[in-house]
Amino acid sequence: MNILRNNILSNDDSGYDETFLVLYTLPMACKYSENCKFYWLSDERFENSVNLDWPPQFQGKEKYIFIVGSVSINGILCLKHGFTRTYQVVLWNPTTGETKVIPPSPIENRRPDRDSWRFLHGFGYDHVNDDYKVIQMIDYFPDDQDDEDNMVWEDRSYDPLWEIYSLKSNSWKKFDVDMRNCYYYSELRGIGLYTDGVFHWWARSASKNIEECLMSFDFSKEVMFTTLVPLNIDGGFDVGFVERHLVSLNGSIALISNYKKESTFCISVLAKLGVRESWMNLFTVGPLPFVDFPNGVGKKNNILFYIKDEDLVCVDLKTQMIKDIGVRGFSFFTHVGKYKKSFLPIGGIIN
């Protein structure tokens, strides 16, 4: 474990060129009405931030834009705009400016109140068929269950619907998987993480005996599987005030657990997919003052981002020193990830 910890601390992620940042710059009186912005944070100390315009499809409607996954895939980012039935998914290569709008699913609308839909997305590359794919889950919550704390899971009227889009065939197909009424996904957890042909979301069971897990989809095999977390993953921390966030650390799947009451966060790494006992707790950082929310990890793997008093800051995992990056935002909608430049066209052959 010490070898893995030292390896993560001593190396940057050489597979990526820059850190990207999606930031909502929000005044206190109007937290849900301002536009979000896209930045490059290109230098080691994050003192050089460059604001990049969103693609044309989002011009004039720069609200509620999310990047699906925490890394680019062959230079491509998958953008999701909106929460419910008005959502749109666009593939975007910021290096070339090329975009590809993902067409809506042709499956007939079965649900009467479309404003109560919830969408989960994943984006990845199928190495076997040289194809980019988007997986989509449509879930439905009646209006009286929109409050997370008061959901009555047994009374849900509809089962989640899963679909897969293929860029090569430019078509959707139904994905049959028995996950009905099993897991709940928040918008934040829905951002997810892509690694080596597999997309991952953080999820929890909808039963009374709640268990959290990593849910994964393999784009080449088109199979879904889960990895439970050990029962002792939280140690003695208060799990009633914990937030989770998936990140990539030196190519490994990592989970940041932020324990708000203790102003402390822990980082666990998964050694083997599907093996519950292979989660390893690598770091415990804190207590740190005003820890609000972990937002992601940059190109330098020893840097962790979070919001303090609406200021974006970073933490050096070696020294636990805090640095203010000099930009302001709203923690829930701030998203940090890693980007690798590519001049290949979207859908181009990967050698």
- % of residues, the chain, pLDDT over 90: 27
Q: Could you give the angle at the alpha carbon of 242 between the alpha carbons of 78 and 277, nearest 5°?
A: 80
In a domain, 349, yes or no: no
Of 16-20, 58-62, 168-172, the least confident: 58-62
Of 55-69, 113-127, 270-284, the least confident: 113-127
In a domain, 348, yes or no: no
Instruction: Provide the pairing of β-strand 193-195 with 117-126.
Output: unpaired
What is the C-alpha separation between 222 and 241, in angstroms, rounded? 35
- Domain hosting 223: range is 2-339
Peptide bond into 287 cis (omega under 30): yes
In a domain, 202, yes or no: yes
pLDDT of residue 99: 95
Residue 148: CATH number of its domain: 2.120.10.80
Alpha carbon separation from 2 to 34, 71, 85, 125 (Å, rounded)? 44, 26, 47, 32
In a domain, 219, yes or no: yes
The DSSP code sequence of 202-214 is EEEESSSS--EEE
- Residues 70-84 have pLDDT tens digits of 899 999 999 988 765
What is the C-alpha separation between 284 and 183, in angstroms, rounded? 28
In a domain, 344, yes or no: no
Choose among 281, 288, 223: nearest CA to 262.
Answer: 288
In a domain, 351, yes or no: no
Backbone conformation region of residue 94, classed left if phi is above 0, alpha if psi is from -120 to 50, else beta: alpha
pLDDT of residue 104: 85
In a domain, 12, yes or no: yes
End-to-end C-alpha distance for the chain, whole angstroms: 34
Cα R_g (the chain), whole angstroms: 19
pTM over 0.85: yes
pLDDT of residue 327: 75
Per-residue confidence at 163, pLDDT binned at 50, 70, 90? Answer: very high
Question: What's the domain count of the chain?
Answer: 1
Summarize the confidence of residues 322-336 as an average pLDDT. Answer: 76
- Residues 17-46 have pLDDT tens digits of 888 888 776 555 444 556 788 888 876 667
What is the C-alpha separation between 161 and 297, in angstroms, rounded? 32
Cβ(66)–Cβ(58) below 8 Å: no
pLDDT of residue 268: 92
Which of 99-113, 148-162, 295-309 shows the highest mean pLDDT?
A: 295-309
What is the C-alpha separation between 306 and 105, in angstroms, rounded? 36
pLDDT of residue 77: 95
- If you ran DSSP here, which 8-state letter would residue 107 be given? S
Instruction: Specify the higher pLDDT residue, 206 or 114.
Output: 206
In a domain, 120, yes or no: yes
Alpha carbon separation from 47 to 39, 129, 334 (Å, rounded)? 12, 41, 18
pLDDT of residue 287: 86
